[in-house]
Amino acid sequence: MKTVIALIGLLTASTSALGCPETLNFSKRTLGGEEEVNLCERYSGRVVLVVNTASRCAYTPQYDGLEALYREYKDRGLVVLGFPSNDFGAQEPGTEKQIQNFCRLTYGVEFPMFEKSRVRAGNAEPLYETLTRLSGESPRWNFHKYLIDREGQLVGSFSSAVKPQSGELVQAIEALL
């Protein structure tokens, strides 16, 4: 009987894990907060753009474009998820509260932002390890973008040089919405 109960427990756990795509099967703390957000529960069924960000980078003005994308397409199912990282050039040295204030006051960021994260290959946290493995590309600098479709499949990886308003990225997002 114990064996049957154990097997049922394993099957239930496997079914739950299968119900969530591996790209979203993570819980992350909100930036500067204490709330843990289960990415699968909150964003499953949406088009997700995952971006590693930094406040003191030549690409930092991309916050404007990311926020514009979010505002334009959020009602159609797009969500932008920001993950500040200090991995490249120490360009995100502040506390989470400082980052949060900078993003809101300087760029009016309303898209969800999460805890400071390690994203560089070889030292990446599990979310970024998964995105790197699935795409074959790890972030080489700040503002690398990963695009996930409504089924949770990774469908695109865009370098830092690809601006949020670029035709390449906008077309990919619109095709998924």
DSSP assignments along 17-57, one per residue: HHHS-TTT--EEEBTTS--EEEHHHHHTTSEEEEEEE-SSS
Residue 163, classed as helix, strand or coil, is coil
Whole-angstrom Cα distance, residue 61 to residue 145?
15
The structure's pTM equals 0.89
Q: How large is the angle between the packed helices 62-73 and 96-107, nearest 10 degrees? A: 70
Q: What digits encode the pLDDT tens for the residues 56-73? A: 999 999 999 999 999 999
Band of the pLDDT at 84, cuts 50, 70, 90? very high
User: Hey, what domains does the chain have and what are their CATH numbers?
Assistant: 21-176 (3.40.30.10)
Band of the pLDDT at 18, cuts 50, 70, 90? low
User: Is 57 tagged catalytic?
Assistant: yes
Band of the pLDDT at 5, cuts 50, 70, 90? very low
Band of the pLDDT at 148, cuts 50, 70, 90? very high
Are 93 and 62 contacting, i.e. CB atoms less than 8 angstroms apart? no
Q: What percentage of the chain reaches a pLDDT higher than 70?
A: 90
Could you tell me what percentage of the chain is helix, strand and coil, using 3-state DSSP and rounding each to the nearest 5? 40, 20, 40
Give the mean model confidence (pLDDT) for residues 105-132: 97
Band of the pLDDT at 17, cuts 50, 70, 90? low
| Residue 52 CA from chain centroid, whole number | 7
Which of 20, 40, 57, 103 does the annotation list as catalytic?
A: 57
pLDDT surpassing 70 at residue 108: yes
